[in-house]
A and B are shown apart, each in its own frame.
Chain A
Amino acid sequence: MSFPVFSIAEQRSSVPVRIDEEKCIADKGCTVCVDVCPLDVLAIDLSKGKAYMAFDECWYCMPCEKDCPTGAVQVDIPYLLR
Chain B
Amino acid sequence: MNTIEREVDVLVIGGGTAGPMAAVKAKQANPDLKVLLLEKANVKRSGAISMGMDGLNNAVVPGFATPEQYVREITAANDGIVNQKTVLAYAQNSYAMIEELDRWGVKFEKDETGDYAMRKVHHLGTYVLPMPEGHDIKKVLYRQLKKNRIDITNRLVATRLIVGEDGRIAGTFAFDCRTGDFHIVRAKAVVLACGAAGRLGLPASGYLFGTYENPTNAGDGYSMAYHAGAELSGIECFQINPLIKDYNGPACAYVTGPFGGFTTNSRGERFIECDYWSGQMMQEFYNELQGGNGPVFLKLDHLAEETISTIETILHTNERPSRGRFHAGRGTDYRERMVEMHISEIGLCSGHSASGVWVDEHAATTVPGLYSAGDMACVPHNYMLGAFVYGRFAGESAARHAGSHAHAQVAASQIEAERQRVWAPLLREAGLPPNQVEYKLRRMVNDYLQPPKVTRKMQIGLERFEAIREDLDRLHARNPHELMRAMEVHAIRDCAEMAARASLYRTESRWGLYHARVDYPERNDAEWRVHVQLHKNAAGDMACFKRAIEPYVVDMNQNDHRAYAALRINKELTPA
Contact = CB atoms under 8 A, between A and B. Distances in A.
Do the two chains bind? yes
A62 interface: yes
Interface string A1-24: 000111010000000000000000
Contacts of B209: 39, 57-59, 78
B214 A59 contact: yes
A68 to B, nearest CB: 12
B437 interface: no
Contacts of B177: 40
B41 A62 contact: no
Interface stretch (B96-104, B428-436, B557-565): B428-436
Interface string A23-54: 00000000000011111100000000000001
A55 B481 contact: yes
A63 to B, nearest CB: 4
B91 to A, nearest CB: 30
B473 to A, nearest CB: 13
B474 to A, nearest CB: 8
B50 A60 contact: no
A4 B41 contact: no
Contacts of B155: 40
B252 to A, nearest CB: 16
A29 B50 CA distance: 24
A62 B476 CA distance: 30
Given A38-B46, A59-B209, A77 B326 contact: yes
Given A40-B481, A40-B484, A78-B207, A63 B215 contact: no
* Most chain A C-beta atoms within 10 Å of own C-beta, residue among B216, B322, B484: B322
Interface string B243-262: 00011100000000000000
Contact of B210 (A4, A8, A55, A78): A78
Q: How large is the interface on B (under 10, 10 to 19, 20 to 34, 35 or more residues)?
A: 35 or more
B326 A6 contact: no
B206 A80 contact: yes
Interface string B27-63: 0000000000000011011110011000000000000
Interface string A55-82: 1011111110011000000011110111
* Most chain A C-beta atoms within 10 Å of own C-beta, residue among B45, B247, B320, B474: B45
A11 to B, nearest CB: 9
B13 to A, nearest CB: 16
B484 A8 contact: no
Contacts of B206: 80
A38 B214 contact: yes
Contact of B42 (A4, A38, A58): A38
Contacts of B47: 38
Contacts of A81: 205, 207, 210, 246-247, 326
B329 A77 contact: yes
B217 to A, nearest CB: 9
B251 to A, nearest CB: 15
B433 A8 contact: yes
Given A6-B476, A38-B41, A38-B42, A66 B51 contact: yes
B430 A6 contact: yes
Contacts of A66: 51, 321
A39 to B, nearest CB: 6
B208 interface: yes
Contacts of B430: 4-6, 8
B45 A63 contact: yes
A68 B46 CA distance: 16
A75 B322 contact: yes
A15 B430 CA distance: 26
B205 A6 contact: no
A76 B328 CA distance: 11
Contacts of B215: 39, 57, 59
Contacts of B476: 6
B51 A60 contact: no
A59 B485 CA distance: 15
A39 B329 contact: no
A54 to B, nearest CB: 8
Given A66-B51, A80-B210, A61 B322 contact: yes
Interface string B196-217: 0000000001111111001110
Contacts of A76: 325
Contacts of A60: 322, 325
Contacts of B431: 6
Given A8-B433, A77-B326, A37 B51 contact: no
B51 A62 contact: yes
Interface in B393-445: 430-433
A81 B433 CA distance: 23
Contacts of B320: 61
Interface in B264-322: 320-322
Given A6-B432, A80-B207, A81-B207, A39 B51 contact: no
B487 to A, nearest CB: 13
B44 A36 contact: yes
B44 A61 contact: no
Contacts of A5: 430
Interface of A: 4-6, 8, 35-40, 54-55, 57-63, 66-67, 75-78, 80-82
Q: 6 nearest interchain CB pairs?
A: A63-B45, A38-B41, A36-B45, A6-B430, A60-B322, A80-B207
26 contacts: A4-B430, A6-B430, A6-B431, A6-B474, A35-B42, A35-B44, A38-B42, A39-B41, A39-B209, A40-B155, A57-B215, A60-B325, A62-B51, A63-B44, A63-B45, A75-B322, A75-B325, A76-B325, A77-B326, A78-B209, A78-B210, A81-B246, A81-B247, A81-B326, A82-B329, A82-B330
Given A57-B215, A63-B44, 10 more contacts: A6-B476, A8-B430, A36-B45, A37-B42, A38-B46, A38-B214, A61-B50, A61-B51, A81-B210, A82-B330
